[in-house]
Amino acid sequence: MIVSRYLWVAACAVGLFVTRGGADDGAPGGAPVAKRVPKEVVQHGERRVDDYAWLRNKEDPAVIKYLEAENAHTAAVMAPAKGLEEKLFKEIVGRLKEDDQEVPYRKGNWVYYSRTAKGKQYPTFCRRRHVRAGDAAAPEPAEQVTLDLNSLAEGKQYYDLGASEVSDDGNLIAYAEDVAGSREFKLRVKDLRSGKTLGEKIDHVSGIKWAADGRTIFYTLQNEAKRSYRLMAHALGTPAAQDRLVYEEKDAQYELGVGRTRSGRFLVVTSASKTTAEARVIPADKPDAAPVLVAARREGHEYYVDEQGGQFYVRTNDKGPNFRLVRVAVGDPREEKWEEVLPHRDAVVLENAECFESTIALFERAEALPGLRLMNPRTGKVVPVAFPEKLCAVGPGANAEYATTAVRVEYQSMVTPRTVYDVDLGTGALALLKRREVLGGYDPAKYVTERVYATAGDGARVPVSMVRRKDYVGGGPRPMLLDGYGAYGYAADVYFSAANLALLDRGVTVAMAHPRGGGDFGRRWYDAGRMANKPNTFTDFIACADYLVNQGYTTRDTLAIEGASAGGLLVGAVLNSRPDLCRVAVMEMPFVDVLNTMSDETLPLTTQEYAEWGNPNVRAEYEWIKGYCPYTNLGAKAYPAMLVRTGINDAQVMFHEPAKYVARMRAVRTERGRTLLLKVNMGSGHGGASGRYDAIREIAFHHAFVLRELGVER
């Protein structure tokens, strides 16, 4: 698992017209920023002065007072829209089937599922005994609760379930929980036979996997910088201080992940940076065995391992950036023994290869669109899978069984809610198991999706995905909400959001740009938007916005843009370059203080991300970061109306980055009549509120702001 400054809180939403927000002249009450001592930094012979560095210390009561004053100011400015916000909240909840259950999946002698209940913030995880096919006379087995997150979250402002894993015998569940939003996960173990929580309490845990014996837990341990750097083995009932160190990753640019092949035969320990990955394997029935290296790391070589029928199947980029598939005997996995199964293809990215007993499911991407093919590795026969829409998202679902006749996938589009299919491994035929119900009379036929391409200055064709209502009576350009990310090689797949419907029904187009830096066209697209090439991400987004305006989809005065985390960096850099681009901008948990953060090795994630942004200790890399850093480059410009959101416990983009950004913008911007708000969740981290109703309230506020500033009315 590679952790990054990324988390997208989904869903776009709703609104009615209210009078546009009032002026926002200068800082709100609270601690007076100007009286604080600035921090001076000399780097590569250059002197930088940070007037707002004092905001970094959340242990300082003056900082808390300042943030609370910002929140009070935001509440006061948004008070006229409180009725709209409440209407939006009720409308979004009204689309939600509050009492619901996910599709069960089998693992061993049990079928597992989760369910939600009206009024409850969190899901409850459950299971029942598996009933064999043909045993129709058998009564339905009783439900057993494995984890009730509502009970676990009781009395807590925040609760997040991280990794969780049931032992092979089905008797125990190991899970990791975070009660602050700071990615400080603690491992716990529950006995599912008695319902009692055992004495295990291990801090700073990320990944969890059981050995086959049902008594040994392998877990990855994080250091102070939130880097997963050690694989530990814990024997139930023993003190954590006695846990065995299995492997330590000493290179600060790498971190560890632990998995297990679907066959159950091997644990796989992957050590990965942004550009390189290597794997070690441990027989699951021999937890004391030393890890065996598959192939030694070399810069730029990524490979990932699964197992089928006594052979490792390895997805590797050794022959090209889009990956090929090879296999090798588990007894001698050396690289020189690798045998090609599927060659590298210039036009198709092999994103994942999921091994089942008889078939390998190949999750691929071509023309920035996902797809699935099924391959029989013994015969070489490949069966393509046809999905209902071209512009869609497809990915693996819950597939816990190795011996199966179907692969479960999750599917959605901008008009089709999350859908679960079982795909026949022999024919590729789809069996619909469930489509998430959207209440309120939703009819997908009323909406249309479209993909268009903007042309960047260097000729690159940059996709934009859009959804809008077909019969909007206004005609001509429409108000638009345009989202962007473009980092870490993550493909920006389209998604369905029921909260978008109120936007769409009021004539707002919801759009998503796919700039370089993401993984929409594979590694080449990623490399073209990172390190020295990072400015391509920003110019691509600008090209998309300009195209949408020039082609009459929207106007500058009716365009809102938004981005979260690294997408917030995108929005900040774009606005420094083109403050005229849009009327409204929203930045959520934005990574805006890039130069200072990447220069501070004590902060979480910094060293792991040198290969994404650059290392400012290197003069050339310092210069390119300095050239686009949103905070560093704030200037005397007429910025649009803005909402900036953060969480006090954010361990990925620390809260002080957006707080400093807003403080400096207040001081330097030239247009004082436009709204500028900072909203700080004083009990959450990078993902915002954890409970589903609390999260919907945040969405309602977010979109009340956007619609208010755009002046959208029926």
The residues carrying an active-site annotation are 565, 650, 686
CA distances (Å), origin 208, targets 106, 445, 683: 20, 43, 26
Residue 685 DSSP symbol: B
The answer to whether 634 and 587 are in contact (CB under 8 A) is no
**CB neighbour burial string for 331-353, b if at least 16 within 10 angstroms, e if fewer:** eebebeebeebbebeeebbbbbb
The answer to whether 239 and 219 are in contact (CB under 8 A) is no
The answer to whether 429 and 444 are in contact (CB under 8 A) is no
**Selection from 684, 634, 648 nearest residue 70 by Cα:** 648
**Selection from 126, 154, 159 nearest residue 141 by Cα:** 126
The three-class DSSP label of residue 35 is: helix
Per DSSP, the residues of 65-132 read: HHHHHHHHHHHHHHGGGHHHHHHHHHHHHHTB-SSEEPPPEEETTEEEEEEE-TT-SS-EEEEEEPPP
The answer to whether 685 and 650 are in contact (CB under 8 A) is yes
The answer to whether 392 and 416 are in contact (CB under 8 A) is yes
- CA dist 584 and 73 (Å) reads 19
Q: What tokens were used for 118?
A: 């009206």
- Sign of the Cα pseudo-torsion (123, 124, 125, 126, in order): negative
β-strand 584-588 against 641-647: which pairing, if any?
Answer: parallel
- CA dist 290 and 299 (Å) reads 24
Q: What tokens were used for 668?
A: 């330097």
- Sign of the Cα pseudo-torsion (238, 242, 244, 249, in order): positive
Only one residue has tokens 């001509």, namely: 476
Q: What tokens were used for 182?
A: 């700071």
Q: Please give the distance of CA 48 from its chain centroid, rounded to a whole number.
A: 33
Per DSSP, the residues of 1-25 read: ----S-------------PPP----
Rounded CA Rg of the chain: 25
- CA dist 580 and 636 (Å) reads 13
Which residue type occupies 696? I
CA angle 186, 188, 190 (to 5 degrees): 160
Per DSSP, the residues of 617-641 read: TSHHHHHHHHHH-TTTT--S----E
- CA dist 40 and 43 (Å) reads 10
Q: Which residues contact 238 (CB under 8 A, 6 or more apart)?
A: none
- CA dist 219 and 231 (Å) reads 6
- CA dist 452 and 464 (Å) reads 5
The three-class DSSP label of residue 409 is: strand
Rounded to the nearest 10 degrees, the angle between the axes of helix 535-550 and helix 566-577 is 70
Burial classification of residue 152, based on how many CB atoms lie within 10 Å of its CB (0-12 exposed, 13-18 middle, 19 or more buried): middle
